[in-house]
Structure 1
Amino acid sequence: MSGTVVSLRAARKARARDARRAEADANAARHGRTKVEKAREAAEAEAARRRLDGHRRDEP
């Protein structure tokens, strides 16, 4: 015998927890963006909009 006692219930829960965490990481990589990335993208879009509006010609 190996001498190490392992609770099968705890091992099953740990395996399920690891599987959920792996799935969550995959979803985050596929769909998620950090708050900083969202803010940077919004700032870039706003700067592009201002740049475009600055080049707008006035209609007579």
Structure 2
Amino acid sequence: MRQALGDVVNLHRARKARARQAADAAASQNRIRFGRTKAERQQQADELVRQERHLEGHALTERDEHEKPRG
């Protein structure tokens, strides 16, 4: 039996499509694992500054500007 021409598949295109689909899936997983919005990064930076100021406010002695914090 002969196949109709509509059933012919270009293997090169099929391989490329499969590789593209795998790359898209990997990129999607990486966005979930590592991705943060700019607002989230800024919020975290602001929180770190706030915590540092809070700790500095509770220091028992004044530090010189050139002195490194201990710990």
User: TM-score with structure 2 length normalisation?
Assistant: 0.58
Give 1:45 shift.
0.5
CA distance in 1, matches of 2:42, 2:50: 12
More helix by share: 1
Q: Deviations over 1:1-53 (max 9, x none)?
A: 5x476544323212211100111221222233333222211110111111111
Is 1:13 matched with 2:51?
Answer: no
Q: Who is 2:52 aligned against?
A: 49
More displaced stretch, 25-34 vs 5-14: 5-14
Aligned length: 59
State the SS of the aligned residue for 2:36.
coil
User: TM-score with structure 1 length normalisation?
Assistant: 0.65
Unaligned runs of 5+ in 2: 63-71
Q: Who is 2:61 aligned against?
A: 58
Larger-gyration structure (1/2): 2
Unaligned runs of 5+ in 1: none
More displaced stretch, 46-55 vs 5-14: 5-14
